Structure formats: structure tokens, C-alpha cells
């Protein structure tokens, strides 16, 4: 269950009320020994009603860069069906740009999480390149070389599938993009690998914008084995302060996706981060991406009460820093994560995919484990 901290609460008092211990509450909620509680802070506490219920099955994926801290990865791995390693690129000669992923593959293998190879068209600066993607889609010789290289790596390193993350594809390359995915699926299936495709959060078929035009839910949904709905970044670094994933916006995307794609193929994207905006908002100022745990520590440092917006199911607060600058922070907590996870059985989806696993969020894993049986294998 979730307990919301009230003024005057102490960790020892909450432990007595919930039949837990201070140490357990600290572990489950990522609370440091001397860290004060904040009014409005949501804590995961043991459920004392003693009732057991049948838990639904859930596929859980998460994305990680090779530089993830080992302790953070080890927190997440026991609760993952798949670990998606971000990311592989490709060169003009068809060879791959490989991340130093050996230790991630080893860690995933030790707990039985399937390692997924994420392929992107990112350039040397780490930005999605429409031009690089177009080369792959249009040049069949290059495409064959890249797919040959991918299959070799998939086989040799023990991956279980390919995640195609191609973003900002212009409308002129739509059909070539679809043909590439179809070709990739055929080659992958010959060797027993699956294809997942990541899709921008659309709400209708003809939605305009470079992020959306090539992400045809009906076509790609018929090709891919699974699809990740990237249901985050409504609140983003250059946008105005707001929830990263408002629950009503997520619902709208899901309801459109279900018109085009079978529910058993759909994974719901869940953010594992927050943003700290300076206010008043200005497009020229970039919000700072922060961890959910750091958000709570900021509230504690500046004596800011955490509020919860029921309409979007997300926590937020404001504070004034040492220079007199006002800030607004939106992030995720136990309440917002529980609300997002509840969408999966409500709509009959396959599972969830976390972007990303780079920051600790122990509350999430406690709630996930309490509500669901994690699917093992594909």
C-alpha cells in the first residue's frame, strides 16, 4: 500500500503503524539514514490486510546504457523480462557501431532476463539522423550488410531480439522504412529472433509532425512482434512545466493504438525521471532532467511540500533556490507509477517498457512486484 507523509510524521512512527521497520522503509523507498521526510511524499509500506489475490502476468522491459551503475542495474534486473541495451549504430560499409555491452549481457544472462539489441540511426553526437536512416532504408546492399552484421552479433552474443528505434523519419521515407522492417522481421524470424519497434505516442492516424508521420501504427503493428508506445515526454526539457506522462494522455494513445494493433503486442512506455524547470517558463531555458529520488531530496532541502495532481496522476512541487530563483518540479512516485501500471490490465496490454533504468527508483520495483507476476521469457 502507499502512505502519504503528513506534517509531523516520522519514519519510526510510520514503521509502527504499518507493522514494518525503519530499515525496510528506507530500503523500499530509497531513503538515506539522515534524509528528512517531506509532507506529501508517497511511501511504499507493507499491506497489512493479509489477503492474497491472483496477480496478472506482465512483460517488463527496460533500457540501459552500458555506463549504468552496477548497483542500479542489480536493483532492476530481477524484475525484468528483457533488458534492452542502448544502442547499436551502423556505418556506411554495413559494419556496426557497438557499445561496450559485454558486462550487461553477462548480468542479464545470470538472472534470466533476455538481452535485446537496440538499433538506432543516431549520429556521432548521439542525435537521431534522418539522413543516416534514409541511407539504410533506400540502399538494399547496405541494408543486407547491416542485417548480416546484426544477425552475427545476435547469434554470437546471445541476444534474444532486435529493437528498432528509428525516430524523425520524413514522410518521403515511410514506405522504405516499412520495407526495411519487413525485411528485418523475415531475416530475424529465420533464426528465432523477434522484432520490436518503438513508436511515437500518436492519437490519430494522420497526426502531423516529423516525429509521427512515418510511425504508421497499422502498418508497423502488422509487421512487428511487439511494439513499445513511447508514452512520455509531454513534459520535456524545452517545454513548459507539466507531468512527463499525464495519465489521460497515455489513455488517449492506448485507445488509438488498440484500434490498429493487437493488445498482446503492446508495451506501455513508462518514464523513470523528472524535470526541474526554472519559472517563469522560457523556451530559451532547458529544464534539468533529474531522478525521482533526487526530486524528493530537493523538496526536503528547500522545505517544499509535495503536491499530487489527481487529474494527471503525478506529483509536483515548487521551491526557491539560494539565488532567489523559483523552480517547478514534476516527477514520478509510488502513486503515479501505480496509476500507470494499472493501465496494463485495464486495457489488456502485454506489459511495460521503462525509459530508462539509469537512475534508481526502488519504490517502482516494490510496487511492480506486489501487483504482478513478471513474465519469464518471451
* C-alpha–C-alpha distance, residues 23 and 223, integer Å: 48
Q: What are phi and psi of 218, to 5 degrees?
A: -65, -50
Task: Check 124, 167, 186, 328 and give the catalytic one.
Answer: 167
Nearest of 198, 197, 181, 284 to residue 233 by alpha carbon: 198
| Distance from the first to the final alpha carbon of the chain | 30
Decide: 352 and 344 in contact? Cβ < 8 Å: yes
DSSP 54: P
Give whole-number Cα distances, 45 to 19, 101, 252, 341, 367, in Å.
9, 36, 31, 18, 10
Decide: 142 and 92 in contact? Cβ < 8 Å: yes
Active site residue 326: no
Burial class (CB in 10 A: 0-12, 13-18, 19+), 308: middle
* C-alpha–C-alpha distance, residues 18 and 48, integer Å: 7
Q: What are phi and psi of 181, to 5 degrees?
A: -60, -40
Decide: 250 and 345 in contact? Cβ < 8 Å: no
Decide: 307 and 39 in contact? Cβ < 8 Å: no
* C-alpha–C-alpha distance, residues 1 and 277, integer Å: 31
* Cell output for 308: 499530487
Q: At what angle do helices 334-341 and 362-371 cross, to 10 degrees?
A: 40
Q: What are phi and psi of 329, to 5 degrees?
A: -120, 130
DSSP 122: B
Write out the catalytic residue numbers.
167
Amino acid at each position: 500500500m502507499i502512505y502519504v507523509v503528513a506534517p509531523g510524521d516520522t519514519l519510526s512512527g510510520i514503521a509502527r503503524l504499518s507493522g514494518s521497520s525503519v530499515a525496510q522503509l528506507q530500503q523500499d523507498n530509497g531513503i538515506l539514514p539522515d534524509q528528512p521526510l517531506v509532507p506529501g511524499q508517497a511511501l511504499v509500506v507493507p499491506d497489512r490486510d493479509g489477503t492474497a489475490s491472483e496477480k496478472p502476468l506482465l512483460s517488463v522491459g527496460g533500457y540501459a546504457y552500458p555506463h549504468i551503475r552496477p548497483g542500479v542495474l542489480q536493483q532492476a534486473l530481477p524484475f525484468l523480462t528483457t533488458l534492452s541495451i542502448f544502442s547499436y549504430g551502423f556505418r556506411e560499409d554495413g559494419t556496426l557501431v557497438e557499445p561496450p555491452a559485454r558486462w550487461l549481457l553477462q548480468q542479464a544472462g545470470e538472472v534470466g532476463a533476455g538481452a535485446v539489441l537496440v538499433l538506432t540511426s543516431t549520429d556521432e553526437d548521439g542525435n537521431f539522423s534522418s539522413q543516416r536512416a534514409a541511407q539504410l532504408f533506400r540502399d538494399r546492399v547496405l541494408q543486407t550488410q547491416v542485417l548480416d552484421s546484426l544477425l552475427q552479433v545476435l547469434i554470437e552474443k546471445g541476444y534474444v531480439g532486435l529493437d528498432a528505434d528509428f525516430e524523425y523519419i520524413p514522410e518521403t521515407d515511410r514506405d522504405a522504412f516499412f520495407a526495411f522492417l519487413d525485411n528485418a522481421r523475415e531475416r530475424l524470424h529465420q533464426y528465432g529472433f523477434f522484432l520490436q519497434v518503438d513508436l511515437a505516442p500518436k492519437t490519430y492516424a494522420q497526426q502531423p509532425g516529423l516525429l509521427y508521420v512515418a510511425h504508421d501504427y497499422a502498418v508497423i503493428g502488422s509487421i512487428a512482434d511487439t511494439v513499445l508506445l513511447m508514452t512520455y515526454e509531454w513534459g520535456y526539457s524545452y517545454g513548459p512545466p507539466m507531468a512527463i506522462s499525464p495519465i489521460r494522455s497515455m489513455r488517449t494513445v492506448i485507445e488509438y493504438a488498440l484500434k490498429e494493433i493487437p493488445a498482446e503486442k503492446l508495451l506501455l512506455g513508462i518514464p523513470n525521471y523528472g524535470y526541474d524547470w526554472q519559472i517563469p517558463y522560457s523556451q530559451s531555458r532547458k529544464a534539468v532532467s533529474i531522478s525521482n529520488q533526487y526530486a524528493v531530496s530537493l523538496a526536503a532541502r528547500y522545505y517544499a511540500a509535495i503536491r499530487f495532481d489527481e487529474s494527471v496522476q503525478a506529483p509536483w512541487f515548487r521551491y526557491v533556490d539560494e539565488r532567489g530563483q523559483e523552480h517547478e518540479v514534476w516527477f514520478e512516485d509510488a502513486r503515479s507509477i501505480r496509476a500507470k501500471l494499472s493501465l496494463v490490465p485495464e486495457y489488456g496490454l502485454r506489459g511495460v517498457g521503462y525509459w530508462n533504468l539509469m537512475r534508481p527508483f526502488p519504490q517502482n520495483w516494490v510496487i511492480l512486484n506486489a501487483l504482478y507476476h513478471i513474465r519469464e521469457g518471451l
